[in-house]
A = this chain, B = another copy of it.
């Protein structure tokens, strides 16, 4: 069971790179090199982060990506949601209007509360807090 996929992991690292160079445009190539992420792959991730308004890009030579908003506003939970979708109970169809099993489903309420707990934890971790930790390690 994985709480975090490679996608998310890479995305966080990429954002940390951008966060490490405020106001600068950093190319995908540089991110790939700094974090040892496959070049084309990180480009894809960065583009996705752009679609979700976490970063902005600039075309052409000297271009690249930079954070759109302050690191304190970027939560780990957001990143996870972008790359792994919402936290959700297996095949339980309770999102699809009415689940036929619902009346005798025992897992549902438990999972939902644990999901909320996890979400809360992930919400407490921001890019800012991660950047600080990183500085502490250097």
A-side interface residues toward B, CB under 8 Å? 1-6, 8-9, 12, 16, 36, 76, 80, 84-92, 101, 103-104, 106-107, 110-111, 114-115, 117-118, 121-122, 125, 130, 133-134, 137-138
9 closest A-B pairs by beta carbon, nearest first, are A1-B84, A4-B90, A106-B130, A9-B90, A1-B87, A114-B121, A6-B91, A106-B133, A106-B134
- Alpha-carbon separation in the docked complex, A103 to B110 (Å): 36
Complex Cα spacing A118 to B76, Å = 17
* Contact pick for A90, options B8, B36, B87, CB 8 Å: B8
A3 to B111, CA, bound (A): 8
What's the number of copies of this chain in the assembled complex?
A: 2
Main secondary structure of the interface of A (DSSP, over half): helix
- With CB as the reference atom, state the residue of chain B lying closest to A89: B4
Shortest C-beta distance, A119 to chain B (Å), equals: 10
- A91/B125 in contact, CB under 8 A: no
Tell me if B115 and A117 are in contact (CB < 8 A): no
Contact B125 A121 (CB under 8 A): no
